[in-house]
Amino acid sequence: MDLETDLVVLGAGPTGLFATYYAGFRGLRVALVDSLPELGGQVTAMYPEKLIHDVAGFPAVKGRDLVSGLVEQALSADPTLLLGRTARTLVEEDTGVRVGLDDGSWVRGGALVVAAGIGTFTPRPLPHGEEWLGRGVAHFVADFEPYRGLDVVIVGGGDSAFDWAQHLEPLAASVTLVHRRDAFRAHARTVAAVRASSVRLLTRAQVVEVRGVERVQSVVVQLDDGAIEELPCQAVVSALGFVADLGPLQEWGLETSRRHLVVDQAMRTNLPRVFAAGDVTEYPGKVRLIAVGFGEAATAVNNAAVVIDPAAHVFPGHSSDR
């Protein structure tokens, strides 16, 4: 079924949810499109239990709680939700844009805000361990409780690996973090907290085998000096990052830089009715934080409002005045 609306928002992560709310605040009809079946984007899919510390007004907030508030706020705009559908094509028209979805339907709006985050994301595989997925090996920790009382091995050296190590340490029987280098890509404060905890850091090491019968029972780790160590465990978390892909967006004629969409200070792309906000954007001085995405969403929607209705003003007034 084809749909006519004022603004199309592509991406239902935190930035897209706030853009959806703000479109309603501006009195615009809005359609929200996402390839995932539920709202919240990457936060819901991968980090619902992660504590987020850099959102204004929250000293710390769980990913799922932040999304819950954003969803409630976004739904106040009475958006049309088009979930589980991937945007495939973009057609520019004189008075709007038409976005073709993978189910053959179209959604047409006066403007489009792309808030697609990193695009689609595919976890990097755990060498020698992918066959154990669902039987003790996982790429993401959506719920900490199932790990209570288990011996857990986490593979990786980035923020996710250290965040999960920090949160699982009080619950698990033991936590060992295995990383192939002795330098980490995680936030220094989190690394310091993990070092001060009971988590064992095993660096300059790689998992070369996962062993078990029906489920994981141990992993075999090889150190740089050739030594071999077998670690008993009932759970392995492979936190090796993921491969991001903008997918069909790369074929829409949008200017890109390092797999991101180039925008100006108004969040305009090189296409006159297409704006972008959040992690998908690129400009000098760009900082990829959820907090930054919120501001970019408001900027994008306010500037899109003028494109949709030239009689409108970029500045909508303060919400406290309403």
Domain boundaries, the chain: 3-121+243-321, 125-240
Residue 55 Cα distances to 166, 271, 288, angstroms: 20, 31, 12
Integer Cα distance of 168 and 150 in angstroms: 10
125-240 CATH fold? FAD/NAD(P)-binding domain (3.50.50)
The predicted structure's pLDDT at residue 22: 97
Q: Which of 275, 122, 69, 176 is nearest to 61 (CA)?
A: 69
Residue 261: helix, strand or coil by DSSP?
strand
3-121+243-321 CATH choice from 3.40.50.12280, 3.50.50.60, 3.30.70.1150, 3.40.630.30: 3.50.50.60
Give the dihedral of Cα atoms 216, 184, 294, 71; nearest 10 deg.
Answer: 10
Residue 60: helix, strand or coil by DSSP?
coil
Residue 296: helix, strand or coil by DSSP?
helix
The answer to whether 3-121+243-321 and 125-240 have equal CATH topology is yes
Binding-site positions read 15, 34, 42, 47, 87, 121, 279, 320
The predicted structure's pLDDT at residue 318: 79
Whole-model pTM? 0.79
Integer Cα distance of 193 and 304 in angstroms: 44
Integer Cα distance of 298 and 267 in angstroms: 10
Residue that the structure tokens 């897209």 belong to: 16
Integer Cα distance of 7 and 24 in angstroms: 10
The predicted structure's pLDDT at residue 322: 65
First to last CA, the chain: 36
The predicted structure's pLDDT at residue 237: 95
The predicted structure's pLDDT at residue 1: 64
Bridge partners of residue 107, in order along the sequence: 3, 99
Binding-site positions for FAD read 15, 34, 42, 47, 87, 121, 279, 320
List, as one string, the DSSP characters of 100-164.
EETTS-EEEESEEEE--TT-EEEEPP-TTTGGGBTTTEES--S-SGGGTT-EEEEE--SHHHHHH
What digits encode the pLDDT tens for the residues 29-83? 999 999 888 899 888 877 787 888 889 999 999 889 999 999 999 999 999 999 9
Residue 280: helix, strand or coil by DSSP?
helix
What digits encode the pLDDT tens for the residues 286-297? 999 999 999 999
| Residues of the chain predicted below pLDDT 50 | none
